[in-house]
């Protein structure tokens, strides 16, 4: 993970156990003495339910696909008034409008990406470095202990 997680922190585990991101959601908090907040079965498909947890509970860490987080915000959830401290948005394009709406929220937001075959997170971009005039949000640079090679259409670096 790209965030400093430790004793006293709470991470929302909302991914299906068959999905790659569930592995760090389940085990990362347990390796550092943090709390794992489990959701009810099927709760990952209920944005009102997820918004309620994020609004009323001391969840500081969460990872979402951008479109799901955008739907949570559309329920009226205000990230700036929540207890969220670290938010990872990944696996899909992060819309610039959503990125701009998170400016000044006080939340450490990262745009992350990683193909399942390589790792859950391979590259990351801190939203604090985003140019609000930019047309797209970069996917970032390789995370710790990772390298990335960009290939052309002939699979050459």
Rounded to two decimals, the pTM is: 0.85
Joined together, the tokens standing for residue 45 give: 């498909």
pLDDT of residue 116: 60
- Note the pLDDT tens digit of each residue in 138-152: 888 888 888 888 899
- Note the pLDDT tens digit of each residue in 51-77: 999 999 999 999 898 999 999 999 999
Query: With 80 as the cut, is the pLDDT of residue 17 above it?
Result: no
Query: With 80 as the cut, is the pLDDT of residue 21 above it?
Result: no
Distances in Å between the alpha carbon of 74 and those of 6, 39, 77, 118? 30, 20, 7, 32
| Per-position DSSP letters for 66-127, written without gaps between them | HHHHHHHHHTT--GGGSS--EEEEESS---HHHHHHTTTS--EEEEEE--TTT-S-SEEEEG
- Note the pLDDT tens digit of each residue in 98-120: 999 998 899 999 988 876 666 66
């Amino acid at each position: 993970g790209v965030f400093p997680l430790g004793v006293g922190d709470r991470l929302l585990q909302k991914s299906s156990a068959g999905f790659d991101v569930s592995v760090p959601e389940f085990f990362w908090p347990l390796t550092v003495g943090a709390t794992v907040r489990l959701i009810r079965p099927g709760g990952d498909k209920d944005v009102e339910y997820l918004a309620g947890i994020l609004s009323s509970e001391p969840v500081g860490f969460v990872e979402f696909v951008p479109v799901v987080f955008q739907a949570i915000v559309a329920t009226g959830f205000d990230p700036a008034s929540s207890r969220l401290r670290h938010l990872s948005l990944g696996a899909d394009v992060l819309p610039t409008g959503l990125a701009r709406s998170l400016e000044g929220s006080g939340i450490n937001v990262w745009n992350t990406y990683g193909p399942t075959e390589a790792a859950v997170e391979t590259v990351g971009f801190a939203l604090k470095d985003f140019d609000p005039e930019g047309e797209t949000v970069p996917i970032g640079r390789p995370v710790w202990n990772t390298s990335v090679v960009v290939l052309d259409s002939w699979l050459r670096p």
